[in-house]
Amino acid sequence: MPPASNPLVLVVVAVVVLSAAAVFGSGGKSLTLTLERASHNGLEMSELRDRDRLRHGRILQQQPTGVLDFPVEGTYDPFLVGLYFTRVKLGTPPKEFYVQIDTGSDVLWVSCNSCNGCPTSSGLQIPLEFFDPSSSSTASLISCSDRRCALGEQSSDSFCSNKNQCGYTFQYGDGSGASGFYSSDLMYFDTIVGNSLASNSSARIVFGCSTSQTGDLTKSDRAVDGIFGFGQQGFSVVSQLSSQGITPNVFSHCLKGENGGGGILVLGQIVEPNIVYTPLVPSQPHYNLNLQSIAVNGQILPIDPAVFQTSNNRGTIIDTGTTLAYLSEEAYDPFVNAITQMVSQSTRPLVSKGIQCYLTTFSASEIFPPVSLNFAGGASMLLKPEDYLLQQNSIGGAAVWCIGFQKIQGQGITILGDLVLKDKIVVYDLADQRIGWVNYDCSSSVNVSATTGNGKTEYVNTGQIDNSSSRLNYYELIPTVVLAFTFYVLSFCHFYIL
């Protein structure tokens, strides 16, 4: 983080707000939320790496009746560091909260009215709210005798206090933390019945009410109202809603890779014919995959496969909240050496702040080789140069491209963040315990699977729907884009939860 004495920097913050309505056949229901991305530019890659490193210390069926699908307009710029968040309505009367979307944790929690250390304003130019259980006519506290508290204890998401309250304490690697108690209340959303949109439908869920926050969570520069965990344990909202038959036990995303943001978030399954799947490593708290080898320009690198095997301090994790990508220590040097050797005739290699970079007058796609990450089951993730490089700056008309993969010193963890995952559909199929992906233009419409009343599965392209059709269970998305611009002080710490 830059020192507090740094001068103010004018940063344009683009907030893309998307409202999506899903329309499908008779009797179907769908949940609608809002996905937003706020971005701040002006950071060096070393700062992105340092912020990701903080985040890494915090790594903590019924037949579904509908899906949630959000098209997001906009592009991604590797020099913009952002935060994905959505809005949820909780309580009676409903109150709206901005919560960070986090695939590395399980619990939805928001700040409570009696919170110690919770920010009261946000540099993201969003209003911050506090949940007050006594002001909601439908709120009820979760006691220690509640079976749901015992469910949370199994995944270390809850504990029992001496006040007979089911509580939680989350401590993160950067010294920040959140603690509070669990409440059961209504979560509100829009429901589609036939071709009609019915607002303020609801489902009862369990979520956290934080009474204390410490460390970076107390800072207002990038503050939100809480965290929306998309993990796979029982306390996750994905698990809760799927068990009630409101959404399927699968979610998907597609992040657009140009000019700073946007994409698609789906509580449901995006379907494309070329998606390849690999099994999730069983009994892991995060989205761990079996990476088996790495190839540069078709040549398998000399890396012992044991380097990638999952254990207490090893493994490969897919995480959308990580800006860059990280290789285990034993894999990093062979990877960088192979890239350097292949481009040495067309570039001037240089090291900038410990990061391998290349000075060249050529475009990245002309001289840098393709990379393949090869997973169990024959699934390969194909990376273009822009998926593992970042353009740092220009010197005398030549571009400086730097390796976006970073080394995790003394650890065997590999983390695939947004740098790698952009321009791909990624499907988290929790029902079948697998993750799939395919390279994709994320500004295009997507196919979404839907189950009709007779149990037949149909596939519909969300951009080419015939609204008069009564045969299909289908989804129509209506985006709304809002741009917000603000002055911002470039002295903030990037907040991630893993």
Catalytic residues: 102, 319
Peptide bond into 7 cis (omega under 30): no
Report residue 382 as tokens: 């194909």
Distance CA 349, CA 251 (A): 41
User: Is the Cβ–Cβ distance between 268 and 250 less than 8 Å?
Assistant: yes
The set of residues, in sequence order, having a beta carbon less than 8 Å from that of 44 and lying 6+ positions away, is 353, 392
Question: What backbone torsions phi and psi does residue 285 show, to the nearest 5 degrees?
Answer: -75, -15
User: Is the Cβ–Cβ distance between 119 and 219 less than 8 Å?
Assistant: yes
User: Is the Cβ–Cβ distance between 307 and 316 less than 8 Å?
Assistant: no
Number of Cβ within a 10 Å radius of residue 443: 18
Distance CA 246, CA 253 (A): 19
Q: Give strand pairing partners of 250.
A: 429
**What single letter denotes the amino acid at residue 459?**
Y
Distance CA 468, CA 456 (A): 20
For 429-438, give one letter per residue: b (16+ CB within 10 A) or e: bbeeebbbbb
Q: How many helices (H) and strands (E) does the chain have?
A: 6, 32
Q: Give strand pairing partners of 293.
A: 374
Find, among 418, 21, 68, the residue nearest to 256 by Cα. Answer: 418
Distance CA 286, CA 498 (A): 8
**What single letter denotes the amino acid at residue 423?**
D
User: Is the Cβ–Cβ distance between 97 and 129 less than 8 Å?
Assistant: yes
